[in-house]
Amino acid sequence: MAGNLEAVLDALDEGREAALARLFEILKIPSISTDPAHNRDCAQAAQWCARTLNGIGFDASVRPTKGQPMVVGHIQAGGADVSHVLFYGHYDVQPPDPLDEWQTPPFDPCLKEDEANGQVIAARGASDDKGQFMTFLEACRAWRDVNGCLPLSVTVLLEGEEESGSPSLAPFLEANRQELKCDFALVCDTGQWDAATPAITSMLRGMCSAEVVITGPSRDLHSGMYGGPAQNPIRVLAGILGALHGENGEVRIPGFYDGVRGPGKEQLDQWNALAFDPSDFLGQVGLSKPAGEAGHSVLEQLWSRPTAEINGIIGGYTGPGTKTVIPSRASAKLTFRLVPGQDPEKIIAGFRTFVEKRLPPDCTAEFLGERGSPAVGFDVSAPMFKAAAQALEEEWGKGAVFMGCGGSIPIVESFQSQLGMDTLLVGFALDDDRIHSPNEKYNLTSFNKGARSWARILDKLAALQPVNS
């Protein structure tokens, strides 16, 4: 049974204020999953999500894990012979630091007038991912309010560890395989091509992370009493990390590019035809020259080339003033963005070898926090991709772009490898949303038209033959 789409869209338009008020409720909860000090906030956010799903008509509950809890909810379609989809989002957010760069407090959401974007919702998580997943829930709410039921059977899975490597996700999918296995998955955690052009993301880089701690002297030393003969672990670490990239921006870990499958000519042609201005993209963040591999376009560097990034480094004295210390240890956190064909375990092993080969006498390296998930790519000629593209075009008045994405959404790889599901990635984030940075925002238009877009997508998907039937 399909429903009355036009009435759903009208209901979404009429209910905008209430929907925004609901979003503000969840934005107020500082659910920072990477910091144990915020465990209670994560639990509170999970409870809020379960309550909200139940209020829409789902049968939802908070499900404990070894880390932050999951939220799972189910609702049956009004009719038979329709697909059962799994919608995924995450209620956790990145740490807000540096706090002093926020113009408004990160967990006190507000509407602000933005010169380029009109009204925007300002808060940590406004875009990534609370604002995004709420577009789907609001579409479900309106569908059910208007039609008494949803046009598809929907299971919602909301995770609380997406920003901290999703350690509980794979075990949870494994343990709840029967409950979570659907025909395919929907994820709202990606971006549009631009503010006017919707997009479906069909390639996602994978990611693996590593932390390395270099130890030299057995204790901190005075640089006057030992400086010269004593090995300095900051110097060693800088030397190793300084050798990580070659002159042309390539990563110098042996075997790093083994197996990399570049995008086909057709895909490259499509990307090259996009109205993309590298100067503008980089200029928005104060840069001008692409720092990735020479010989690859900026879109390739972002979507189809792997990277090695140093995300953090610390060693020695970093307080005010001077301290003439040779520290015992220095450490760095790295992440590697992966593309199809790369094996995260081999990349991590290659990094270890790269470090160990460069260790001078008397230094040791300890490796922590190693985790990884490979990249994924989908066949966009499948019916659900076409249906979603058509729905987006009807809402936005412009054809949807099939994009790559430089970011990693490990869940998509897990859905494929663990539950055998493809994923339809539709999102309404914009490049200037400042996710993971101070002053994160989500355009009010993204929020409102995002919900309308999902209503249209649900309608189109309900009209398809069930994928696996």
Of positions 57, 340, 407, 410, contacts its own copies by CB under 8 A: 407
Paired tokens of 12: 């979404």
Omega within 30 of 0 (cis) for the link into 98: yes
Query: Which segment (194-202, 255-263, 283-291, 457-465) binds its own copies by CB under 8 A?
Result: 283-291
Q: Rank residues 294 and 463 by Cβ distance to its own copies and give the closer one.
A: 294
User: What is d(CA 432, CA 449) in angstroms, rounded to the nearest whole number?
Assistant: 18
Q: Which of residues 292-331 bind its own copies (CB under 8 A)?
A: 292-293, 298, 301-302, 305, 307, 309-327, 330
201 near its own copies (CB under 8 A): no
Applying CB under 8 A, does 267 fall inside the site for its own copies? no
Q: Is 288 in the site for its own copies (CB under 8 A)?
A: yes
Q: Closer CB to its own copies, residue 36 or residue 55?
A: 36
Q: For 230, which DSSP code?
A: B
Which of the stretches 23-31, 43-51, 150-158, 210-218 binds its own copies when contact is defined by CB under 8 A?
210-218
- Using rule CB under 8 A, residue 98 touches its own copies: yes
Q: Contact with its own copies (CB under 8 A): which of 142, 169, 185, 435?
A: 435
308 in Cβ contact with 336 (< 8 Å):
yes
Number of C-alpha atoms within 13 angstroms, CB side, residue 141? Answer: 21
Measured from the CB of residue 284, what is the shortest distance to its own copies in angstroms?
8
Query: Within 147-176, which residues bind its own copies (CB under 8 A)?
Result: 163-165
Shortest spacing between CB 468 and its own copies, in angstroms: 31
Which residue's CB is nearer to its own copies, number 88 or number 143?
A: 88
CB of 84 to its own copies, least distance (A): 30
The sign of the dihedral angle between the CA atoms of 124, 337, 209, 65 is positive
Interface residue with its own copies among 337, 441, 456, 460 (CB under 8 A) is: 337
Contact between 84 and its own copies per CB under 8 A: no
- 332/432 Cα distance (integer angstroms): 28
User: What phi, psi does 238 have (nearest 5°)?
Assistant: -60, -40
For its own copies, the closer of residues 228 and 264 by Cβ is 228
Q: Which is nearer to its own copies, 229 or 469 (CB)?
A: 229
R_g (Cα) of the chain, nearest Å: 23
The least distance separating its own copies from the CB of residue 136, rounded to whole angstroms, comes to: 21
Listed residue (80, 271, 46, 246) closest to 159, CA to CA: 46
- Kindly tell me which of 147 and 190 has the beta carbon lying closer to its own copies: 190
Provide DSSP, 234-278: HHHHHHHHHTSB-TTS-B-STTTTTT--PPPHHHHHHHHHS---H
Q: How near is the Cβ of 249 to its own copies at its closest, in Å?
A: 8
- Determine the residue type at 50: A
Segment contacting its own copies (CB under 8 A): 102-110, 170-178, 411-419, 431-439?
A: 431-439
Taking the CA atoms of 439, 69, 187 and 33 in sequence, report the sign of the dihedral they define.
Answer: positive
> What residues between 11 and 50 interact with its own copies by CB under 8 A?
33-36
Please tell me whether residue 246 binds its own copies under the rule CB under 8 A: no
Q: Which is nearer to its own copies, 218 or 381 (CB)?
A: 218
User: Closer CB to its own copies, residue 50 or residue 203?
Assistant: 203
Nearest alpha-carbon partner for 107 in 56, 41, 171, 50: 41
CB 289 within 8 A of CB 282: yes
State the Cα–Cα distance between residues 340 and 408, nearest whole angstrom. Answer: 12
Q: Does 408 bind its own copies (CB under 8 A)?
A: yes
Under the binding rule (CB under 8 A), the answer on residue 227 touching its own copies is yes
Asked if residue 64 binds its own copies (CB under 8 A), the reply is no
Token output for 197: 């052009």
CB-based contact 214:365 (threshold 8 Å): yes
